[in-house]
Chain A
Amino acid sequence: MRHMILIARREYLSYVATIGFWVSLCMIPIFLILGLALPVLLDRASPTRNFTVIDPSGRFISVMETAISDDRKEQIGAVLDGLILIDGETDGLKAARQALADGRSEAEIAALLGPRGKTTMAAVRSDFRLVPAPAQTADGLRPFLIEDKKLDTPRGPETLSAAILIDSTEDQKVGIQYWSTNITEQRLKRLVRNAVRDQMRLEGFARAGIDFSLVQEITDLGPQITSLSPEKNNDEAEVTAQDRMPYMVAIMFAFVLWSVVFSVANMLLTSVIEEKSNKILDSLLCAAPLRSILIGKLFGVAAVSFTLLAGWAMAGLLTAWLASTVTHTNQDNLNGLLFAASNPGLFLPFFGYFVFGYLMFGSIFLALGSLCETLQEAQTLMTPMIFLMMVPMMALVFVMQDPQSPILMVLSWIPLFTPYIMMARLPTDPALSEIIGTTLVMVATTVLVLWAAGRVFRAGTMYGAGSDYFKKMLTGLLSKK
């Protein structure tokens, strides 16, 4: 016991008593915030692009203006939908959605959103702006498009990103020339094409004597879907953000579980390789039983992972609190997240699955490390293990789409994957027999893996390093002593 505690303590301190460990832990909230904010920041970093339309017939200018205005409305709608997903359908958000549908002004919509209205509307940016043409021909526009000349706008000199030249000399045949140096831009091209196409159809229907508004009305027909839960009373059956929280938390737990096990299993591998390459093992073997070395290492690194988990949890809470404060989202969501995360139905399995997942992968990595003397040698053996570890990671993506997929049910029975996949599937209420069965198989496999890893570790430490890994592995597994 004394040996085990001392070895575990040394292992723990060798990671935790370093500045690097704490610096990386403290960086997590920064990375989380950056991860959340980066797409928005990148989007906002690119300016609104000016484009102009040369349409001698004058048939499509107003259509273009409407298309731009609709595009902005669509973006406002997307932001409102995002807020509904986070906060649920609050009265303010419902009213704002309705106001948008009614074509009311942005100021009116912002007012309906309360204190966060201004920041929300500011977050919606216009990608394109239709500006008056500085010249009427392609040759005249060219210096503006290649930025030799700037547009004179009320906001100051600006660049012209694209010019649309519409040739509609024939009634039913329209050609569009799209001039721009940004050849990868597809959104504006699509927007223009759709706007012109709709106008052409409108005119076509008119020529055929069909009322286009009727066509539009029929096209817009569609059902309204409401998600309801049979587990709730009829009057409160609608699925809310709070209802979705356990599923989100379970998947988050599964990802965290995978990340922690993967990180700390690597720590075990490098730790034992360090001891082998620095020739420490003989001194250690003369001072402590092999079993104590193995278990001490597993415990020490497990303690590191609990420190990591605690750090990540605090970092996650801090990030969630900061995000909800900055975006003025409903504090109930943070409470809901905490409530779901502290639910024993998720929390206890998380620790159970962590213990078994860690013991399985940790002892395998420890045994592999004992067979190698350098990290380069270890890479040869690690590659299949990494592929194996990627399977549950990929499976988690499917859990989000269909937690009861037959493939996932099969994968749940593979003990190395059980902790991650079952963790993510738990809120979907899998059959009790499935939970008990997969757990029993997982526990039995863990015992087997620990026994085998102990044998291989013994062979690896006794007989030194070399490339005959499999021989050593077999020696360890088949040895009677």
Chain B
Amino acid sequence: MVRLMNHSVLHLENVSKSFGSKLAVSNLDLNVRAGSITGFLGPNGAGKSTSIRMGLGILPADSGKVHLFGQKPNYRALDRVGFLPEERGLYRKMKVLAVIVYFARLKGMKAAAARTNAMTLLTQFDLADVAHKKVRELSKGMAQKVQIICAIVHKPEFVILDEPFSGLDPVNQQTLEGLIRDLAKAGTTILFSTHVMEHAERLCDRIVLLSQGRKIFDGNVSQALDTINERVILETAKDCDPNAVIGQLASQVHAIEPTGPDSIRWSVELATGCNSQQVLRACVEAKLPLRAIEPKRRHLHDVFVHLVEQDQQANNRAAS
């Protein structure tokens, strides 16, 4: 099937939702482009699941517009979507194959094709031998894999996975990562929410960060990493304070702080545009007894913590 890339699959336009007095989502703009893997990140209660449910039309938005495949969410459009909800479960008394076929058929698949696809995916997930067992006989991890299969068995164009990695062991997390990559290679658009930044960093070509119902970041991973400054770790001789040479480094660093009580390792937060080579040169020029210098790699985790903290502080300031 030929798919138009870069058109919008899901578009939330200035969408808000409140539950009583609590504002769950505030003026959110989210545009998921076809063929992308978008990470939907945010702390607990940030409004990720509410936004996803609004995007699927499960929950009506209080204001704003929602477009799924260019139209208001409807069951023709939803047939093209695979959804793994955050709160997940299956019919415990049904057999594994039957429950997968049931959801596939609800999405418009013929029974025979659904059965074939289901068996292929069960084999891929090492679950072929439980196909005729009842769901209640499965372990939690197995049941979660079955639920993931239910979400993708009908070969949707757009897959939404709400916290797909939670509850899976590292091996199965890797399998799921592989599956997401395979789906993306096949042209499937993917939107997933997660708390584990490593998955988002490895998989996403775009991330959207939500905090307290508001979008605080929207861009690719490298843009996200650029929101925090680079750091280097300096290791000096004992009783040597790099702050003594702070004068020379002043234009290149934001802060120098010891990383431990022995004051021989120092974390140096670099100014924008500055790199570890420039710091090394400055240290040499200042005759700092340097034992080692180690550039510290930036991670999405740090970006997440930094941006969320920044947002919360701003909010607290505004509140006070």
Judge whether A287 and B107 touch: CB under 8 Å.
yes
Listed residue (A7, A279, A463, A481) with the most chain B CB atoms within 10 angstroms of its CB: A279
Residue on A nearest B59 in the bound complex, by CB: A462
**B78 adjacent to A286 (CB under 8 Å):** yes
User: Which residues of chain B from 127 to 158 have a CB within 8 Å of any chain A CB?
Assistant: 147, 150-151
Tell me, in angstroms, the Cα distance from A462 to B62 when the chains sit together. 14
The answer to the question of A143 belonging to the interface, with a C-beta cut-off of 8 Å to chain B, is no
Q: Is B254 positioned at the interface, with any CB of A under 8 Å from its CB?
A: no
Q: Is A6 on the interface with B (CB-CB < 8 A)?
A: yes
Report, as a range, how many residues of chain A touch the other chain. 20 to 34
Q: Which residue of B lies closest to A458 (CB)?
A: B60
Asked whether, in the complex, the Cβ of B103 is within 8 Å of the Cβ of A283, the reply is yes
Q: Are B60 and A278 in contact (CB under 8 A)?
A: no
In the complex, B69 has a CB within 8 A of chain A: no
Decide if A278 touches B78 in the complex (CB within 8 Å): no
In the complex, the answer to whether A280 meets B53 with C-beta atoms within 8 Å is no
B105 contact set on A, CB distance < 8 A = 2, 6
Q: Does the CB pair A288–B90 fall under 8 Å? A: no
How many angstroms from the CA of A121 to the CA of B150 in the assembled complex? 69
Residues of B within 8 A of A284 (CB): 106
Residues of B near A437 (CB, < 8 A) are: none
The yes or no answer to A282 lying at the interface (CB within 8 A) is: yes
Nearest B residue to A479, CB-CB:
B60
Which A residues are in CB contact (< 8 Å) with B107?
287
- Find out whether the CB atom of B106 lies under 8 angstroms from the CB atom of A279: no
**Shortest Cβ gap from A279 to chain B (Å):** 4
Q: How far is it, in angstroms, between the C-alpha of A243 and the C-alpha of B216 when the chains are bound?
A: 82
CA distance A151 to B102 in the complex (A): 74
State the CA gap A3–B102 with chains docked (Å). 10
Rounded to whole angstroms, the CA-CA distance of A286 and B84 in the bound complex is 9
Cβ of B89 and Cβ of A286 under 8 Å apart? no
Please name all residues of chain B whose beta carbon is closer than 8 Å to the beta carbon of A14 when the two chains form the complex: 91, 93-94
Nearest chain A residue, comparing its CB with the CB of B86: A282
Q: Are B75 and A289 in contact (CB under 8 A)?
A: yes
| B93 and A288 contacting across the interface, CB-CB below 8 Å | no
A279 near B85 with CB under 8 A, answer yes
Q: A462-B58, A462-B59 are in contact. Are A282 and B106 (CB under 8 A)?
A: no
Q: Please tell me if the beta carbons of B85 and A287 are within 8 angstroms of each other in the complex.
A: no
Residues of A near B88 (CB, < 8 A) are 279, 282-283
Q: Specify the chain B residue showing the minimal Cβ separation from A285.
A: B58
Q: Check if B108 is an interface residue, CB within 8 A of chain A.
A: yes
Is A287 within 8 A of B103, CB to CB?
Answer: yes
Check A10 against B102 for contact (C-beta < 8 Å).
yes
Nearest chain A residue, comparing its CB with the CB of B78: A286
Query: B90–A6 contact, CB under 8 A?
Result: no
Cβ < 8 Å to B, chain A residues 281-300: 282-289
Cα separation A279 to B90 with both chains bound (whole Å): 7
Q: Are B81 and A286 in contact (CB under 8 A)?
A: yes
Measured CA separation A287–B102 after assembly (Å): 10
Contact of B106 among A278, A287, A481 (CB under 8 A): A287
> Does the CB pair B83–A286 fall under 8 Å?
yes
Q: In the complex, what distance in Å separates the CA atom of A6 from the CA atom of B58?
A: 20
Find out whether the CB atom of A463 lies under 8 angstroms from the CB atom of B89.
Answer: no
Interface centre among A2, A10, A282, A463, by most chain B C-beta atoms within 10 angstroms, is: A282
Report how far A2 CA is from B105 CA in the complex, Å: 9
Residue of A nearest to B61 (CB): A481
Contact A3 B59, CB 8 Å, known A279-B85, A282-B53, A287-B107: no
Interface residues of A in 268-314 (CB under 8 A from B): 274-275, 277-280, 282-289
CB distance from A3 to the nearest CB of B (A): 6
Closest to A286 in B: B83
* Shortest distance between the CB of B141 and any CB in chain A (Å): 16
User: In angstroms, how far is the closest chain B Cβ from the Cβ of A479?
Assistant: 8
Whole-angstrom distance between the alpha carbons of A6 and B94 in the complex? 14
Instruction: Give bound CA distance, A282 to B53, whole Å.
Output: 9
Q: Report the bound CA distance from A289 to B73 in whole Å.
A: 11
Name the distance in Å between A6's Cβ and chain B's nearest Cβ. Answer: 6
Neighbouring B residues of A282 by C-beta, 8 Å: 53, 58, 83, 85-88
Which B residues touch A288, using CB under 8 A? 75, 106
Q: 1/0 per position for A1-42, CB-CB distance to B under 8 A?
A: 011001100100010000000000000000000000000000
Q: Can you pick out 8 interface pairs between chain A and chain B where the beta carbons lie within 8 Å of each other?
A: A7-B106, A279-B85, A282-B53, A282-B85, A283-B151, A284-B106, A287-B78, A287-B103
A-B contact sample (10 more), CB < 8 A, given A287-B106, A463-B19: A3-B106, A14-B91, A280-B91, A283-B103, A283-B147, A286-B83, A287-B103, A288-B75, A289-B75, A462-B59
7 closest pairs, A vs B, by CB? A279-B89, A278-B89, A282-B85, A287-B106, A279-B87, A286-B83, A285-B58
